[in-house]
């Protein structure tokens, strides 16, 4: 009889865990990595301690609102998984790594056992996540062990649901996939549009004009979200995750509570069982689709680009410009291949940045709101969305280092594409905002110029951090935690210093101009000139750092191991 | 001409290459032979500027890696054993990128010739990520040839190639050498090395064990073992006995040698 989980897979899970620990300790080998790991660990301990202290000393939130909010959060997490699946290419429901593909899939292990292995891996990862979340929610969980079990089951259910959905998505026809994509976007954008529309109506009403705009906006969004959640549709959508939420916040041992726990255990178990069935079904469907395509003769030659891509290939040899041109062109071709994902990543922040246009404000306030939104999204989102620089070339550092291109030009070439795309996005948002509002053109152009400098700073900084602590995309583990802590702290410090410097320089500009007896316009000019000079200096320093780091980078030693 | 003088490289506490010196004159083909982990790839990667060299000097046509790295890189082409290509670029785009970076004027004809020679014409618009192992190797070789290097470094270049491509590659290597290119080939295919290489360099545990002509190598080792077969392969296996004894004395016998190794690691780390 076939074992559901053979010993060899059990052993593999264990040795992989050991390997991850070993790799983390390996991070302490070189002096540079040792220092970074040490700083990251210390900062991590500080952050975690702070969080623990915050948890222990905080008051418990109101029970009913926690039940409702957690149901909303879990449902949004489900939506996020759906959205991720419908936009991802290629479909990889089980997310096998290359090593797993070559070793495990070729080993005498049945597909059922492989699914068991993958589901166990997911459950183990989720166990750690649930443990962390349950500790953060410690004061809010009336019975911690039940709360933890509820959380664990809830998160495992979402993971199993994701795999099920991905398997279904892989098995259906391409036409149905497009229907799924469309439906997912309608389901996502519909409520957002309704909430925004109703929020803007509230915000434009005379009675609320005296509140600060950010507080008013946040408050109004919460009120409108609550209204939607309380509606019949909202209750229906939340009903599945509401059971998990009720289990998490169970107040006392009761028959009803135990029955609910049993219910969610069964739901989770059923979703796990469904994964096995769907895995079998999707493999069968893939075979059928392939043989159908072969019969129809609709398959093209292996790896042939689409017509649109082929036309890209007809572009003449890119301009060299000290090697920078070719390097930047190569990243632009990459951006072209990810144009859909990029459009979505940039489209949503663009819509959010335009929201202040619907408010009845004066041109300066509208411009500040739009630019503020752009700065916020550019600082938070764009660096992760536009990974078209050193960060995606971890496996090609050999090629980059052997090119006859001076490192400074190579670095500029690598940074050019994300900066160009970010600038294009910001210019587009500002252009639309200026056309459809009373924003003054000269001010919009000046803001655009300053934003270019801002983009340069952001992407150079991101790449500097990357070279200090290189990583692979989709990497997991302790070193990722340390890097995240470092990045988060570093960005926070940079943001605080930048805001302080701006305020200081703004005050100083006014003082200088007034002491000279000049008009207020000169203060603006002085402020902008100083700002650009400051940005230029910092950018130059960052660029020098980036160049030196790349020169010293040793791909044999500094590249992280494959996942 | 390629010159490597006193090159040493350490990874942590492991000395990968120790005080290596050799030269490959223009028009010569050097076969770099050694066991796995002998330091062959490290030497080639350091020469092409990929990894920082611990100690030593690299020169190509009189240009030093430390003083004129761009001039050296412009003249050097390195084909890795497992070429890392840009997954977004098609075969043709790779060649265009190479032409642009290396400043090749009007490369269209040369691109067409190379694609035909290595039978990549039909894959011209295919993404590099969809190519088979052998085709990726062919593309990497095309990229290297396109830049018309005077120093050609090939690390296991035959891996994954079909018989036709192997023949083409061997012919083209010989032709390039005849045109004045200095070539280094690292390979375990001793018959191929014997076929086309004029010089042999044996590396073991990062140390140079033999450097000389193909004939010298065969004379020294094959005859010493009274081996009837006068091939490079036979000579190589005969040489293993001697090299093995050397290695054993390095590791176990002489403490002086071990001290020398640790001194070298210290000096490299300091640099």
DSSP per residue, A355-370: GGGGS---HHHHHHHH
The pLDDT of A432-454, averaged and rounded, is: 89
| In a domain? residue A413 | yes
The pLDDT of A271-284, averaged and rounded, is: 90
B57: β partners: B5
B51 and A554 within 8 Å at the Cβ level: the answer is yes
Exposed / middle / buried, residue A12 (Cβ in 10 Å: 0-12, 13-18, 19+): middle
CB-based contact B250:B233 (threshold 8 Å) = no
Per residue in B201-234, pLDDT tens?
999 888 888 898 888 888 877 655 555 667 777 7
Dig out the tokens for A349 from the structure: 């922040």
A323 and B101 within 8 Å at the Cβ level: the answer is yes
Q: How many residues does chain B have?
A: 271
On chain B, the residues whose CB falls within 8 A of the CB of A333 are 88-89, 93
Q: Does the ipTM surpass 0.90?
A: no
Q: How many residues does chain A have?
A: 563
Domain count across chain A: 3
* pLDDT value at residue A400: 92
Tell me the C-alpha distance between A129 and A152, whole Å.
8
pLDDT band at residue A474 using 50, 70 and 90 as cut-offs: low
Question: Which of A313, A339, A551 is the best substitution to test chain B (most B C-beta atoms within 10 A)?
Answer: A313
* pLDDT value at residue A155: 94
A105/A37 same-domain check: no
On chain A, the residues whose CB falls within 8 A of the CB of B126 are 301-305
Identify the top-confidence range among A82-91, A121-130, A259-268, B231-240: A259-268
A278/A416 same-domain check: no
Lowest-confidence segment of A12-26, A486-500, A506-520 by average pLDDT: A12-26
A368/A249 same-domain check: no
A46/A77 same-domain check: no
A333 and B89 within 8 Å at the Cβ level: the answer is yes
Domain range list for chain B = 2-270
Question: Which of B75, B88, B132 is the best substitution to test chain A (most A C-beta atoms within 10 A)?
Answer: B88
Per residue in A361-410, pLDDT tens?
788 888 888 998 898 888 878 888 888 999 888 888 999 999 999 999 99
**Does B49 contact chain A (CB < 8 Å)?**
yes
Q: Which residue has the higher pLDDT, B76 or A196?
A: B76
A43/A153 same-domain check: no
* DSSP-assigned states of every residue in B62-82: TEETTT-HHHHHHHEEEE-SS
A102/A43 same-domain check: no
A273/A327 same-domain check: no
Lowest-confidence segment of A315-329, A447-461, A516-530, B17-31 by average pLDDT: A315-329
B99 and A404 within 8 Å at the Cβ level: the answer is no
| In a domain? residue A315 | no
Question: Which of B54, B115, B125, B268 is the best substitution to test chain A (most A C-beta atoms within 10 A)?
Answer: B125
Pick among 3.40.50.300, 3.90.1150.10, 3.65.10.10, 3.40.50.11740: CATH of B2-270 = 3.40.50.300
Is the pLDDT reported for residue B60 higher than 70? yes
Contacts of residue A253, Cβ cutoff 8 Å, sequence gap at least 6: A143
* DSSP-assigned states of every residue in A252-266: S--HHHHHHHHHHHH
Dig out the tokens for B44 from the structure: 């080639």
Neighbouring CB atoms inside 10 A of A543's CB total 18
* pLDDT value at residue A313: 46
* pLDDT value at residue A204: 65
Q: Which residue has the higher pLDDT, B265 or A180?
A: A180
Tell me the C-alpha distance between B136 and B130, whole Å.
9
- Domain finish residue from A17, A43, A58: A58
Least CB–CB distance from A320: residue in B50, B90, B101: B101
The pLDDT of B244-253, averaged and rounded, is: 53
- Domain finish residue from A40, A58, A76: A58
A70/A46 same-domain check: no
- Rg (C-alpha) for chain A, rounded Å, is 27
**Does B101 contact chain A (CB < 8 Å)?**
yes
Q: Which residue has the higher pLDDT, B45 or A113?
A: B45
Is the pLDDT reported for residue A302 higher than 50? no
**What is Dmax (Cα atoms) for chain A?**
93
Per residue in A12-59, pLDDT tens?
777 777 777 776 666 666 666 677 777 777 777 777 777 777 777 777
| In a domain? residue A480 | yes
CA angle A218, A220, A221 (to 5 degrees): 65
Which residue, chain included where needed, has tokens 């989770």?
Answer: A268
CB-based contact B263:B251 (threshold 8 Å) = no
Domain span including residue A186? 61-296
Q: Considering only CA atoms, which of A466, A373, A367, A471 is closest in space to residue A418?
A: A466
């Amino acid at each position: 009889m076939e074992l559901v989980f053979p010993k060899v897979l059990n052993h593999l899970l264990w040795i992989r865990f050991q390997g991850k620990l070993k790799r983390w300790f390996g991070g302490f080998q070189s002096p540079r990595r040792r220092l970074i790991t040490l700083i990251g660990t210390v900062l991590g301990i500080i952050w975690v301690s702070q969080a623990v202290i915050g948890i222990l000393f905080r008051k418990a939130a109101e029970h009913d609102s926690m039940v409702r909010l957690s149901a909303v959060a879990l449902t949004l997490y489900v939506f996020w998984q759906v959205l991720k699946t419908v936009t991802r290419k290629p479909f990889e429901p089980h997310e096998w790594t290359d090593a797993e593909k070559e070793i495990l899939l070729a080993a005498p292990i049945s597909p059922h056992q492989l699914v068991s292995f993958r589901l166990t891996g997911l459950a183990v990862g989720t166990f750690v996540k649930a443990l962390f979340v349950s500790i953060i929610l410690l004061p809010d969980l009336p019975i911690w062990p039940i709360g933890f079990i509820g959380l664990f089951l809830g998160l495992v259910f979402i993971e199993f649901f994701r795999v099920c959905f991905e398997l279904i998505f892989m098995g259906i026809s391409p036409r149905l996939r497009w229907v799924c994509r469309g439906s997912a976007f309608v389901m996502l954008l519909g409520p957002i549009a309704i909430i925004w529309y109703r929020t803007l109506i509230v915000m434009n009403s005379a009675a609320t004009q005296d509140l600060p705009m950010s507080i008013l906006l946040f408050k109004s969004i919460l009120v409108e979200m609550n209204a939607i959640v309380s509606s019949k549709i909202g209750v229906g959508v939340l009903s599945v995750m509401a059971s998990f939420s009720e289990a998490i916040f169970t107040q006392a041992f009761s028959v009803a509570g135990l029955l609910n726990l049993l219910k969610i255990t069964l739901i989770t178990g059923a979703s796990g069982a469904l994964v096995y069935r769907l895995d079998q079904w999707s493999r069968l469907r893939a075979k059928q689709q392939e043989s159908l395509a072969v019969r129809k003769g609709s398959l093209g030659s292996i790896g042939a680009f689409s017509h649109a891509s082929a036309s890209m290939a007809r572009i003449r040899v890119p301009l060299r410009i000290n090697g920078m041109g070719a390097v930047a062109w190569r990243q632009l071709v990459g951006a072209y291949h990810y144009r859909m994902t990029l459009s979505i990543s940039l489209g949503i922040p663009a819509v959010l940045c335009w929201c202040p246009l619907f408010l009845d404000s004066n041109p300066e306030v509208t411009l500040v709101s739009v630019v503020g939104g752009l700065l916020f999204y550019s600082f938070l989102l764009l660096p992760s969305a536009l990974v078209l620089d050193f960060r995606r070339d971890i496996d090609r550092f050999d090629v980059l280092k052997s090119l006859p291109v001076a490192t400074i030009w190579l670095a500029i070439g690598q940074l050019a594409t994300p900066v160009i795309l970010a600038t294009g996005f910001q210019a587009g948002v500002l252009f639309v905002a200026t056309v459809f509002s009373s924003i003054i053109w000269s001010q919009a152009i000046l803001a655009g110029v300053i934003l270019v400098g801002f983009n340069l700073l952001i992407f150079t900084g991101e790449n500097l951090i990357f070279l200090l602590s290189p990583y692979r995309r989709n990497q997991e583990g302790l070193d990722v935690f340390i890097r995240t802590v470092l990045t988060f702290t570093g960005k926070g410090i940079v943001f605080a210093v930048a805001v302080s410097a701006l305020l200081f320089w703004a005050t100083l500009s006014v003082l200088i101009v007034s002491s000279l007896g000049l008009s207020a316009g000169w203060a603006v000019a002085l402020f902008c000139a100083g700002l650009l000079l400051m940005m230029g200096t910092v950018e130059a320093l960052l660029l020098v750092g980036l160049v030196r780091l790349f020169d010293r980078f040793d791909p044999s030693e500094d590249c992280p191991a494959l996942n | 001409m390629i010159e490597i003088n006193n090159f040493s490289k350490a990874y942590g506490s492991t000395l990968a290459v120790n005080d290596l010196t050799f030269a490959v004159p223009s028009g010569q083909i050097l076969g770099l032979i050694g066991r796995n982990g002998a330091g062959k790839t490290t030497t080639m990667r350091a020469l092409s500027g990929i990894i920082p060299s611990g100690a030593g000097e690299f020169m190509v046509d009189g240009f030093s890696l430390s003083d004129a790295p761009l001039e050296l890189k412009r003249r050097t082409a390195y084909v890795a054993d497992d070429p890392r290509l840009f997954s977004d670029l098609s075969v043709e785009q790779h060649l265009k990128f190479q032409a642009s970076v290396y400043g090749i004027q009007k490369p269209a004809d040369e691109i067409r010739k190379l694609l035909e020679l290595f039978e990549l014409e039909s894959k011209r618009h295919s993404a590099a990520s969809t190519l088979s192992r052998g085709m990726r190797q062919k593309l990497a070789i095309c990229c290297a040839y396109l830049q018309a290097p005077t120093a050609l470094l090939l690390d296991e270049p035959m891996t994954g190639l079909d018989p036709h491509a192997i023949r083409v590659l061997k012919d083209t290597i010989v032709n390039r050498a005849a045109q004045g290119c200095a070539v280094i080939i690292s390979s375990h295919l001793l018959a191929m090395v014997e076929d086309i290489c004029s010089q042999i360099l044996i590396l073991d545990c990062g140390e140079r064990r033999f450097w000389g002509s193909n004939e010298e190598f065969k004379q020294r080792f094959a005859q010493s073992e009274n081996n009837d077969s006068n091939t490079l392969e036979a000579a190589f296996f005969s040489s293993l006995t001697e090299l093995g004894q050397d290695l054993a004395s390095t590791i176990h016998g002489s403490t002086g040698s071990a001290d020398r190794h640790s001194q070298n690691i210290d000096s490299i780390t300091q640099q």
